[in-house]
Structure 1
Amino acid sequence: MLADQSLTIRPIHSKADRKAFIDLAFRLNADDPNWVPPLKGEALGLITPEKNGWFSHAEAQLYLAERGGKIVGRISAHIDTLALTLPAEQGFGPGVGCWGLLEAEGRDLAHALIATAEQWLRDKHMVRALGPISMSIWEEPGLLIEGFDHPPTIMMGHHKPHYQEWIESAGYRGVKTLYTYDLDITKEFPPLVGRIIAAGEKNARIRIRKVDKSQFDKEAAIILAILNDAWSDNWGYVPLTEPEIVDVGVKLKPIVFEDLIRIAEVDGEPVAFMIVLPDLNEAIAPLNGSLFPFGWAKLLWWLRKPKVRTVRVPLMGVVKRLQSSRMASQLALMMIEYIRRSAVAEYGASRGEIGWILEDNQGMRSIADLIECKINKKYEVYERTL
C-alpha cells in the first residue's frame, strides 16, 4: 500500500471495488467523444477470475487510488505463467510481468500507480515489466499513440494522448509498435490484385469456403490449429488455453456471420483463415455501458442482421510452411476480396480495419500496401527493467 498525504493506493478485493474500478474509466473518459463505453458486464468479466479463462494460467492484482474518499486512479499488475515459458526473443519469457488498465487523474498519480504495479511484480520475482497489456495479449495490448481522432473498433483500446508522456517519463521505452490499417472497401482493388485473385480462382487445388456456424466447435478447432501454427513464432504470441477458447466462443458466437469468416483449403487441407467481425462498438456506443432498460433489446435487434459502417479483421493466418510462398499472398487476397464483397452487399459496410499488425510483420504489411490500406492507428507496448 502506498500513501501520500491524502492519497492511498490499495489492492482491491471486493465486488464493490471491482465495480468502482470499472466505473472510474467511465468518469475519466466521459469528455472524450471517441471513447467507446464498454458493456459493464463484459468489463467486469475481464477482471473477475471466475469469469475469465485467462486466469487459469495467470494471476493478477488490481489497485485503486483514492484521495479524500474519491476514486482517482486504477491499475492492474499481472503475470501470465504461460508467457513465462516462452523464448525471450518473442517478447515475454522468464521474469517478465505486465501491467495495464491504467486510468489516472494526473501524471504524478500515474507514476505512483505504475510504481505500485512494479513493486507487486518485483515481489513475484519478475525482472522486467511490459505495459500496458490489458490483461491478456489477446485482449487490448499497447497504448494508443496515434489515431485519437476516431473511435476504436471492437476489441481495440482507446487512450488519451497525454498517457504516452506519463508512461515514457516513468522510465519506459517502446519495445513494439502495433498498427491498424484503414480501407475503403467500396472500391475495387488495384488491377494487379484482381489478376492474382483471378489466377487463384482458376486453380483447381484452391477452395475458399465460408464457415459453417452449425458446426461451430469443429470450425473453431480448424481455425485454432491454423492460428497456433501460423502465429507460433510471432512476438507476443501466447497459446490460447481451453478455458480461454470456451470464453472466446461464448463472446464471439453472436457476432460470427458465415460469409464474414473464410477458410482456405489447398488440396482439401485447411491452410489459411480470415475472421472479420462487424464493428460491435457502433451498436454499444450509445448504450453507455448498460443493457438496461432497453439496451439489450436494441442489441439483440442489431445482432439479427447488423448494418454497420465498419468491419474489422482481428485475425488471419496462413500455415507456416506456406508463409514465404506466392500462394500465401494469393490465399489472403482471395479471402479479403470475398469477404469485402459480402461486407458491402450484405452488411452495408463501407470501411474495413485490419489489425493489429506487428511493425515487423512484413508479410501482412505488404498485403496491406498491395490493397492500398493506410495506417490509421498506432499502439505502443512499452518495457522497463525492474
Structure 2
Amino acid sequence: MTTKAQTKQFIDIAYKLNAGDPHWVQPLRSEVANLITPGKNPFFEHARVQFFLALQQGQVVGRISAHIDELALQQPPEQGMGPGTGNWGMMEATEESVMHALIRAAEQWLSDQGMIRVLAPLSLSVWEEPGLLTQGHDQSPMIMMGHHNPAYQGWIENLGYKVAKRLVTYDLPVKDGFPELINRIVASGERNKKLVIRKVDKKHFDRDAAIIMGLLNDAWSTNWGFVPMTDHEIDHAGKSLKPIVHEALIRIAELDGEPVAFMMTLPNMNEVIKDLKGSLLPFGWAKLLWWLKFPKAQSMRVPLMGVKKELHNSRLASQMAFMMIEYIRRDAVAHFGTRYAEIGWILEDNQGMVAIADAIGAKINREYLIYDKPIDSV
C-alpha cells in the first residue's frame, strides 16, 4: 500500500464490509487516516508497519496491517510482548480464504523482519484497539473500542491461533448509586486528611495530562501486554482527547500532596458519530461541535485507571478507586444525564480491578481475545 488511492481503499473497505451491521459505528475517516499515516501517529516513530490489501478481479476484498513495535520488543517475555514478537491487526475480509491469505502475508512479512511469534490482533498498538471482539456483538462499541464480524473468530482460530489473553469490559448502571458498603468506604476515605481527590484543571491541561500519563506508565508497567508510552505519544494523546475531556469526569488522587492515582472517564462520543457515516460533511461537523460544547451522554467509558505501583494491593488503592468512581458517577448523572458506564478493558486476571468491578455491581458485557502463534508453525 503505497499510493493515496490505495490508502483510501484500505480505509473504505471497512465501511463496505460492515455496512450491514447495525451495531458497527463508522469511525471518522479522517481519524482512521491519521492513525495509519506516519507523521500523524507517533506510533510510527518506534514501529515498523506494513499495510496489505487483498484484491480479487481488481476489487478490494480485504485488508490487514502488520507491525513491529521496537518498544514492545524490549519488554519482558513473561509480560506478553518481548523479543521476536510482531503483531497484525485492522483485519477485514469478505470470506475465510481472504482472511487466511491476508494473515499469511502479514506473518511472512513479520518473519522476513526477523520475528518468530505473532501476538494479534492489535490495531495498531495495545493503547488503541487491542483484541478481537468475541462477545457483545449485539451492542454498539463504546468510544475507542473495536467491533468485529463474529465470523472472524473461527477464521483466525482455524489458522492455529491460540488465546493468549482475555480482555473484558464491564457494564455498570450508575443512575441509582452503589451499595451501602461502597458509600461507607468512600465516607471513610473522606475523613483521611492526607488524601485529596481533585478534578483535572483544563487551565493546566498539559500539566495534568503529563501527571496522568506518568502515573499510567508506572501503574501499568508490570501488566501483561504493557508497552510504555513515549513523551510524544503522551503529548499526542493529550491533544487528541482534550476536546472530550471534562474536568468533572477525570480525577487525580493525591496523598500528602503527591499524585498517586487517577481515573479517566470519557463521554461515549460514539452516540453522536454513529449517525455521521464516517464524515463531518456536509453538516456533521455542526452536530459534533454542538455535542462537544453541550454534551449529553447516556453512556460513559472508563478507559483508564491507575494507582502507583508502590500502592498496588493496598487497602488505600481500593479506597481511592471507589472514591474516584463515586465522585465521577455523581457528576456524570447530574450534569450529563448518564445512565450507565462501561469499565475497561480489563485483563481477566487483574484480580484487583475484577474485585472492584464486582463490588460496585458491574457485569461483563464484552470480551476481546488476543491470540498467540509461533510464526514457524505456518
TM over 0.5: yes
Q: Does 1:323 align with 2:326?
A: no
For residues 242 and 201 of structure 1, the distance between their equivalents in structure 2, rounded to whole angstroms, comes to 34
Query: 1:65-122: CA deviations, max 9, x gaps?
Result: 1111110010011000000011001111000000000000001111111000000000
Structure 2 residue aligned with 1:163? 152
Q: Does 1:341 align with 2:330?
A: yes
Which of the numbers 224, 245, 253 marks the counterpart of 1:256? 245
Give 1:42-81 correspondences, 5 Å limit: 42-81=31-70
Structure 2 residue aligned with 1:177? 166
Which of the numbers 116, 121, 124 marks the counterpart of 1:127? 116
Query: What one-letter code is carried by the residue in structure 1 that aligns with 2:327?
Result: Y
For residues 335 and 32 of structure 1, the distance between their equivalents in structure 2, rounded to whole angstroms, comes to 36
Q: Does 1:191 align with 2:180?
A: yes
Select between 297-306 and 237-246 the one with higher mean Cα deviation.
Answer: 237-246
Give the conservation status (yes or no) of the 8 Å contact 2:117–2:373: yes
Structure 1 residue aligned with 2:99? 110
| Residues paired across the two proteins, number | 375
Q: Does 1:228 align with 2:217?
A: yes
For residues 224 and 48 of structure 1, the distance between their equivalents in structure 2, rounded to whole angstroms, comes to 23
The DSSP-based 3-state class of the residue aligned with 1:82 is helix
Query: What one-letter code is carried by the residue in structure 2 that aligns with 1:258?
Result: E
The DSSP-based 3-state class of the residue aligned with 2:39 is helix
Query: 1:334-376: CA deviations, max 9, x gaps?
Result: 0000000000000011010000000110000000000000000
For residues 3 and 303 of structure 2, the distance between their equivalents in structure 1, rounded to whole angstroms, comes to 33
Which of the numbers 117, 136, 144 marks the counterpart of 2:125? 136
For residues 218 and 128 of structure 2, the distance between their equivalents in structure 1, rounded to whole angstroms, comes to 20
Query: 1:218-274: CA deviations, max 9, x gaps?
Result: 101111221111110001111111221222122100000000000011111111000
Structure 2 residue aligned with 1:5? none
For residues 127 and 4 of structure 2, the distance between their equivalents in structure 1, rounded to whole angstroms, comes to 25
For residues 321 and 71 of structure 2, the distance between their equivalents in structure 1, rounded to whole angstroms, comes to 30
Query: What one-letter code is carried by the residue in structure 2 that aligns with 1:244?
Result: E
Query: What one-letter code is carried by the residue in structure 2 that aligns with 1:293?
Result: P
Give the conservation status (yes or no) of the 8 Å contact 1:54–1:243: no
Structure 2 residue aligned with 1:309? 298
Distance apart, 1:295 and its partner CA: 0.6
After TM superposition, what 4+ stretches of structure 1 lie above 4 angstroms from structure 2?
none
Which of the numbers 52, 77, 96 marks the counterpart of 1:88? 77
Select between 52-61 and 240-249 the one with higher mean Cα deviation.
Answer: 240-249
Identity, in percent, stands at 60
Q: Does 1:208 align with 2:223?
A: no
Q: Does 1:25 align with 2:9?
A: no
Query: What one-letter code is carried by the residue in structure 1 that aligns with 2:7?
Result: R
TM normalised by structure 1 equals 0.96
Give the conservation status (yes or no) of the 8 Å contact 2:53–2:64: yes
Which of the numbers 262, 282, 296 marks the counterpart of 2:285? 296
Query: What one-letter code is carried by the residue in structure 2 that aligns with 1:97?
Result: G
For residues 279 and 210 of structure 2, the distance between their equivalents in structure 1, rounded to whole angstroms, comes to 33
Which of the numbers 244, 268, 292 marks the counterpart of 1:279? 268
Query: What one-letter code is carried by the residue in structure 2 that aligns with 1:103?
Result: E
For residues 35 and 217 of structure 2, the distance between their equivalents in structure 1, rounded to whole angstroms, comes to 23
Select between 298-307 and 222-231 the one with higher mean Cα deviation.
Answer: 222-231
TM normalised by structure 2 equals 0.98
Q: Does 1:148 align with 2:125?
A: no
For residues 106 and 13 of structure 1, the distance between their equivalents in structure 2, rounded to whole angstroms, comes to 25
For residues 362 and 261 of structure 1, the distance between their equivalents in structure 2, rounded to whole angstroms, comes to 23
For residues 236 and 56 of structure 2, the distance between their equivalents in structure 1, rounded to whole angstroms, comes to 36
For residues 327 and 317 of structure 1, the distance between their equivalents in structure 2, rounded to whole angstroms, comes to 13
Q: Where in structure 2 are there 5+ consecutive unaligned residues?
A: none
Give the conservation status (yes or no) of the 8 Å contact 2:298–2:337: yes
CA-based RMSD? 0.7
For residues 251 and 265 of structure 1, the distance between their equivalents in structure 2, rounded to whole angstroms, comes to 25
Which of the numbers 28, 41, 44 marks the counterpart of 1:39? 28
Q: Does 1:265 align with 2:254?
A: yes
For residues 175 and 363 of structure 2, the distance between their equivalents in structure 1, rounded to whole angstroms, comes to 15
Structure 2 residue aligned with 1:7? none
Give the conservation status (yes or no) of the 8 Å contact 1:210–1:260: yes
For residues 226 and 301 of structure 1, the distance between their equivalents in structure 2, rounded to whole angstroms, comes to 32
For residues 265 and 75 of structure 1, the distance between their equivalents in structure 2, rounded to whole angstroms, comes to 43
For residues 273 and 243 of structure 1, the distance between their equivalents in structure 2, rounded to whole angstroms, comes to 20
Query: What one-letter code is carried by the residue in structure 1 that aligns with 2:253?
Result: A
